[in-house]
Amino acid sequence: MKRIEAEISALQLHDVRERLHLIGIAGMTASACSALRSRNEIYRGAMATTAPVERIRLDIVVTDDMVDSVVRAVVTVVRRDDGADGWISIAPIHEVIRISTGESGSDAL
């Protein structure tokens, strides 16, 4: 199993959720966050600090065979070819246990 974390624009949450539902992903966690970039830009001759950008962080736990499909779905919806598209990370999950039923492994998803 893998945990996929994605940071996307808050405006794209609905479209990403719909696309993931189409490929069979029924659940995820979405948390509001702010992307803080510590770079300064010169705007009309004056130094300006960029403001925090409102983002959504998605946490999705899937079986190994679904990882590529989920990543492809998120990238297809989110990619605009600019620096603010967000990011995706993938990490292994050793075990998942559903507290209410006691199911474990992929059955708990």
Q: In the structure encoding, which two tokens stand for residue 23, read together? A: 């490929």
What is the domain-level CATH number for residue 41? Answer: 3.30.70.120
pLDDT at residue 49, rounded to an integer? 66
Instruction: Show Cβ contacts of residue 21 under 8 Å, excluding neighbours closer than 6 positions.
Output: none
pLDDT above 70 (res 53)? yes
Tell me the three-class secondary structure of 66-109, residue by residue: HHHHHHHHHHHHHCCCCCCCCEEEEEECCCCECCCCCCEHHHHC
What's the confidence (pLDDT) of residue 93?
A: 93
**In total, how many domains does the chain have?**
1
pLDDT tens for residues 63-103? Answer: 999 999 999 999 999 998 776 788 999 999 999 999 999 99
Q: What is the mean pLDDT of residues 21-48?
A: 79
Domain of residue 71: give its range.
2-108
In the chain, the percentage of residues whose pLDDT exceeds 90 is 61
